[in-house]
C-alpha cells in the first residue's frame, strides 16, 4: 500500500460549516438595516432553507425550471453561482429587494462559517508531520479570506477552487490540479470530504478517499481525527 504523503480536504461540511439559516437571515437584515418581526424571521428563514438558497446548507427541495441548467454548472463561474443562489432566494418574499444580494454577501464572510471542533488540531498535526495539505472546493467565490480569518490558511499548501478553473468535482481534472500543486502522485494523496459522489471522484485518479458526515459542528466533534491514522 502506498504511503499517504498528502491530504486534500473539501471545504463546506468537511472543514467548516455554514451558519443556520435563521442567523444568516438576521445578519443580512442587520446589514441592510431592515426590520422584520421575530416570528416572521423564523418562517422566512425556514422557507429560504427549503428553497436551498443558503450555499453550503441543504440542497433545494425543488429547483425552478428557469434555474435548472445553471444549477448544474453553478460552481464553474462566480456569476453563475451568485445568479443561482440569489434566484433561489427570490422564491421567498422579503421586505426589501436588496436583501437577496445581502444574503449572498453574508455567506461569503468569515462570521458565517464555523470550523469543526477538530479542524485546526488535525490540520496543525498534519503540518507538524510534514504532510502536504490542500483544499479542493466546488465553490463560486474566494474562500481564502475565510480560512485566513479562522487561522487555518497557515496549514494549507494549496487551495484549488472550481470557479477559478471552470471545472467542478467530481471531474478528475480538478483533483489532478490539486495533486500537481502538492507535488505528489495521486496514489500518495488522500481526499477527505462529505460528498461521496463529488469528493469521491478523486478515486478515479487513484487517490484514496475518506468520507466524513456533514453535520452541525456540535454534533461532529472528532470527525476528522481518523485522518491522522491514515497518513504516514
Q: Is residue 206 one of the residues assigned to a domain?
A: yes
Model pLDDT for residues 139-161, shown as the tens digit of each residue: 999 999 999 999 999 999 999 99
Q: Of 112, 129, 147, which one is at a domain's C-terminal end?
A: 112
User: Are residues 135 and 86 located together in one domain of the fold?
Assistant: no
Residue 142 lies in domain: 6-17+113-229
Model pLDDT for residues 22-40, shown as the tens digit of each residue: 999 999 999 999 999 999 9
Q: Is residue 43 one of the residues assigned to a domain?
A: yes
CA nearest to 204, candidates 184, 226, 188, 187: 187
Cα-Cα-Cα-Cα torsion 151, 15, 18, 63, nearest 10 degrees, comes to: 140
User: Are residues 130 and 175 located together in one domain of the fold?
Assistant: yes
Q: Which three cell numbers stand for residue 26?
A: 438576521
User: Are residues 10 and 124 located together in one domain of the fold?
Assistant: yes
| Predicted TM-score (pTM) of this structure | 0.96
User: Are residues 65 and 175 located together in one domain of the fold?
Assistant: no
User: Are residues 140 and 174 located together in one domain of the fold?
Assistant: yes
Q: Is residue 1 one of the residues assigned to a domain?
A: no
Report how many domains make up the chain: 2
User: Are residues 11 and 25 located together in one domain of the fold?
Assistant: no
User: Are residues 23 and 83 located together in one domain of the fold?
Assistant: yes
Q: Of 79, 97, 112, which one is at a domain's C-terminal end?
A: 112
User: Are residues 37 and 82 located together in one domain of the fold?
Assistant: yes
User: Are residues 79 and 138 located together in one domain of the fold?
Assistant: no
pLDDT at 232: 65
Model pLDDT for residues 30-84, shown as the tens digit of each residue: 999 999 999 999 999 999 999 999 999 999 999 999 999 999 999 999 999 999 9
CA distances (Å), origin 57, targets 30, 48, 61, 204: 21, 11, 12, 27
User: Are residues 123 and 89 located together in one domain of the fold?
Assistant: no
CA nearest to 55, candidates 38, 80, 29, 32: 80
Q: Of 89, 112, 135, which one is at a domain's C-terminal end?
A: 112
Amino acid at each position: 500500500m502506498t504511503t499517504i504523503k498528502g491530504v486534500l480536504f473539501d471545504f463546506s461540511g468537511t472543514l467548516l460549516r455554514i451558519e443556520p439559516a435563521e442567523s444568516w437571515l438576521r445578519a443580512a437584515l442587520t446589514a441592510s438595516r431592515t426590520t422584520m418581526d421575530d416570528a416572521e424571521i423564523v418562517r422566512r428563514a425556514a422557507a429560504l432553507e427549503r428553497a436551498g438558497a443558503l450555499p453550503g446548507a441543504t440542497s433545494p427541495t425543488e429547483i425552478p425550471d428557469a434555474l435548472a441548467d445553471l444549477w448544474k454548472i453553478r460552481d464553474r463561474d462566480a456569476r453563475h453561482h451568485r445568479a443561482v443562489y440569489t434566484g433561489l432566494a427570490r422564491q421567498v418574499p422579503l421586505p426589501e429587494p436588496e436583501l437577496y444580494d445581502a444574503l449572498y454577501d453574508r455567506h461569503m464572510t468569515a462570521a458565517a462559517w464555523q470550523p469543526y471542533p477538530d479542524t485546526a488540531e488535525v490540520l496543525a498535526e498534519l503540518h507538524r508531520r510534514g504532510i502536504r495539505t490542500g483544499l479542493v472546493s466546488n465553490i463560486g467565490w474566494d474562500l481564502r479570506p475565510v480560512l485566513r480569518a479562522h487561522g487555518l490558511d497557515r496549514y494549507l499548501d494549496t487551495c484549488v477552487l472550481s470557479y477559478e478553473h471552470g471545472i467542478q468535482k467530481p471531474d478528475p481534472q480538478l483533483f489532478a490540479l490539486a495533486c500537481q500543486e502538492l507535488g505528489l502522485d495521486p496514489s500518495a494523496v488522500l481526499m477527505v470530504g462529505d460528498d461521496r459522489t463529488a469528493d469521491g471522484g478523486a478515486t478515479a485518479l487513484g487517490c484514496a478517499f475518506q468520507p466524513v458526515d456533514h453535520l452541525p459542528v456540535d454534533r461532529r466533534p472528532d470527525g476528522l481525527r481518523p485522518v491522522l491514522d491514515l497518513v504516514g
